[in-house]
Structure 1
Amino acid sequence: MTANDEPLVSVLLPAYNVEEYLAKCVDSILQQTYQNFEIIIADDCSPDDSGKIADKLASKDARIKVFHHGKNMGLSAARNTGLNHASGDYITFVDSDDWIEPDYVEYLLRIIQGTDSDIAISRNFFTSRSREQVTEDRITTITPEDMLCDLLYNRIHVGVWNRMYKKSLIGNSRFRLDSLTGEGMQFNTQVVPKASKVGMGLRRVYTYNVDNETSATKKPNVRKQAYGAVATMDMIREGLKPRSKRLDDAVEYQYFTTALYALTHLIRAKAVSENRDFYKKLVRYTRSTALKTLSMETSTTQKIKSLLVAVSPTLTVSLAIFWRYGLGRKQRV
C-alpha cells in the first residue's frame, strides 16, 4: 500500500495559552510511525505566543494547518473549527498541552480497521507523572451502549482525546457552544449512539499532562465547573437517545457524580454562602440519590462513596478535598 492509498487522519489541536507545550505536542505528532495525517491547529485568540508558534511550525511542514479565531470563543468552538476544516477519513483529538506516543495514530487506526469499528479507544493512558506501560494488550469490541455506560460510570475518560472516530460517524455533529464544561461528554453522547460497534485496546499511547498549572482543571471556577457541569448534564439527560433502563441508570449516576463535582467546586472556591440555593439543591439531590446508586453498575469503591454521601454529602466532599489538595499533596512532595 502506498502513502496515497492510506487513509488520511486528521489530528485536531485546540490551542489557547499553551506556548510552553505546543511545540512538544506537535513534534510528538510529526514523529508518528503512521505518516499520512494532517494537523489542524485552532488558535483560540490566545493572548500568549501560541498562535505565532503554530504559524512557525506550519511554515516548516505543509501537513500543519493553522486557523486563528478573531476572538476567544472557547474550547468547543476551537474543536469545531478543527472539524470544519478536517479533510481526513478519520478524526482524532489531541489537547495541545499533552503529547502522544510514536504509534498513537497507527495503533488506533489498526484497532478501528481491524475490528471494523466506527470508534477506536484505549482504556488507558499515561500521565506526565506515571509512565508504566501495560504488560499485555488485548483488542476487543464493545457496543455503543457499553461505551456510553463506561463513560457515564467513569470507567473510561469522558473526553474526546485518546480515541479515533470515523469522520462519517461524526457527520454534522459538533461540540455545543453553550457547554461551559463537560463538552467531551456531551459530544460523545451525540456521536457514540450512531456507531455500530467500538474497538477497544489497553495499550497506553497518550500522555495526559497533569503538570499544566494553567489548565482549567487546576483552579475552581464556580460558573464554569459547578453551574456549567450541571447544565451540561441537563442537556445529556434530555438529549441522549435511544435510551434503555441500563442507560437511564448510567445517566442518573453521572448526574449524581456531577452534582458532587459541582459541590466540590463550591466548597473549594469558598462560594457556598453566595450560592446558597444551588448548594442546598446539590446537597438534597446527592443525599436522596446516593442509596439508589447502590443497585447500579458501580464498583465497591463507588458504593462506599455513595454510602458516605447518603450520610453527609458536604462532609464526604470536604474529606475528598482535604485528601487531594491538603494531606494528599503533602504526602506526594
Structure 2
Amino acid sequence: MKPLVSIITPMFNSEAFISETINSVVNQTYQNWELLLIDDGSTDRTLELANKFIIENSKIKLFKNALNQGAALSRNRGIESAQGDYIAFLDADDLWKPNKLETQIAFMQSNNCDVCFSSYEQINESGKPLNKLIIALPDLTYQKYLKSNYIGNLTGIYNAKNLGKITAPNLRKRQDWLLWLSAIKKSRKPAKGIAESLAYYRVRKDSMSSNKINLLKHNYWVYKKGLGFSTLKSIGYMLIFLNEHFFVKSKQIVST
C-alpha cells in the first residue's frame, strides 16, 4: 500500500480561496492522503465552505481553535494529529498541481531523501499568473539553508516515519523556515529539490512576501529568537542573508 501523506492546512477567514485549495488536494492523482484543516477562529464563511467537503470526503478532518492562535500553533496542532508517513503543508490560499504528491513521493522513495521540495509559480489574488517561476535548488544543505529560506512551504514534504514529527516554534512569521531547518538538521542529509513546478503560490497585497521591510525584520528574529543566536551573530547572518537573497537567490526567479 502506498504511504499515507498528511496535509496540514491552517485557515483564517479564507472564504475567497479555501474551496479551490481543497479541490487541489481532492484532485491529486495520488490518493492516499488525509487533509487536516485547522480553523484559527474564522468569522467569515470559511467553516461553512470547508464543511461541504468534509461531509463528502472522510479523508478531510477539521480542527477548531477556541481562540486565534496564529499559523505556527495551528500548523503544530495539525502535525500532532497527523497519522501519515509523510507530512506536507498547504496554506489556505495556495494551490497544488494534480501530480504534486505523486511526483514528490515517488522522488523521495527513489532518492531515499527525508526532505523534499519543488519549484513553484506565483499567481495573484485572482489566480492569474504573475509569470514568475521559483526554481528549486537540486540539493540544499543545512548551512546553505541558514543563508536564506529556499523552500517554498507549500512544496515541502518531510518523512515523519524517519524523522518523527517536527513542529514549528511559535514565531509570528517565518516559522516554516525554522521547521525545515530542523528537518534538514535531523535528517543529516541535504534536502532534495525537484526542478518541475508542482504548485502555485498566491501573492496577496497583505502578504509578507510583498513587504520587503517586514520580511527583513522577521528574518532577523529567525536568527535571534528562533535559533538563539547572539545579536552580533544575528546581524552577521542578516548580512549573509542579504547577499544571498539579492545576488544568489534572485537567480532562482525567472520569467515565464
1: CA distance, partners of 2:14 / 2:207: 9
Structure 1 residues 62, 155: closer, same or farther in 2, change over 3 A?
closer
Q: 1:91 aligns to what? A: 87
Q: 1:189 aligns to what? A: 181
Q: 2:43 aligns to what? A: 47
User: What's the CA shift for 1:202?
Assistant: 0.2
Deviation string, structure 1 residues 14-38 (Cα, Å, up to 9, x no partner): 1112110000011011111111111
Asked whether the 8 Å contact 1:108–1:163 carries over to 2, the reply is: no
1: CA distance, partners of 2:10 / 2:178: 17
**TM-score calculated relative to the size of structure 2:** 0.81
Structure 1 residues 119, 226: closer, same or farther in 2, change over 3 A?
closer
Structure 1 residues 31, 76: closer, same or farther in 2, change over 3 A?
same
Amino acid at match of 2:80: N
Asked whether the 8 Å contact 1:180–1:229 carries over to 2, the reply is: no
Asked whether the 8 Å contact 2:72–2:168 carries over to 1, the reply is: yes
Asked whether the 8 Å contact 1:117–1:196 carries over to 2, the reply is: no
2: CA distance, partners of 1:213 / 1:99: 17
Residue 153 (structure 2) pairs with residue 160 (structure 1): yes
Structure 1 residues 190, 201: closer, same or farther in 2, change over 3 A?
same
Deviation string, structure 1 residues 64-88 (Cα, Å, up to 9, x no partner): 0010111000000110111011111
Structure 1 residues 139, 80: closer, same or farther in 2, change over 3 A?
closer
Asked whether the 8 Å contact 2:219–2:238 carries over to 1, the reply is: no
Q: 2:253 aligns to what? A: none
2: CA distance, partners of 1:13 / 1:153: 27
2: CA distance, partners of 1:216 / 1:117: 30
1: CA distance, partners of 2:149 / 2:226: 18
Pairwise CA RMSD: 3.2
Where do 5+ consecutive residues of structure 1 fail to align? Answer: 240-248, 261-292, 306-333
What SS does the aligned partner of 1:87 have? coil
Normalized per residue, the structure richer in strand is 2
Asked whether the 8 Å contact 1:14–1:95 carries over to 2, the reply is: yes
1: CA distance, partners of 2:26 / 2:163: 25
Q: 1:125 aligns to what? A: 120
Structure 1 residues 229, 139: closer, same or farther in 2, change over 3 A?
closer
Deviation string, structure 1 residues 156-202 (Cα, Å, up to 9, x no partner): 24x5321210113452432112x121111111222210114333210
Where do 5+ consecutive residues of structure 2 fail to align? Answer: 124-128, 251-256
Deviation string, structure 1 residues 214-250 (Cα, Å, up to 9, x no partner): 435456896xx665542322134437xxxxxxxxx9x
What SS does the aligned partner of 1:112 have? helix
Higher relative contact order (CA 8 A, sep 6+): 2
User: What's the CA shift for 1:48?
Assistant: 1.6
Residue 20 (structure 2) pairs with residue 28 (structure 1): no
User: What's the CA shift for 1:203?
Assistant: 0.1
- In the alignment of these two chains, the number of paired residues is 240
Q: 1:199 aligns to what? A: 192
Q: 1:74 aligns to what? A: 70
Structure 1 residues 228, 196: closer, same or farther in 2, change over 3 A?
closer
What SS does the aligned partner of 1:180 have? coil
- The range that moved more, 70-79 or 53-62, is 53-62
Given the alignment, which residue of 230, 233, 240 partners 2:220? 230
**TM-score calculated relative to the size of structure 1:** 0.63
User: What's the CA shift for 1:302?
Assistant: 2.4
1: CA distance, partners of 2:47 / 2:145: 33
Q: 1:314 aligns to what? A: none
Query: What is the identity percentage for the equivalent residue pairs of Structure 1 and Structure 2?
Result: 22
Residue 5 (structure 2) pairs with residue 9 (structure 1): yes
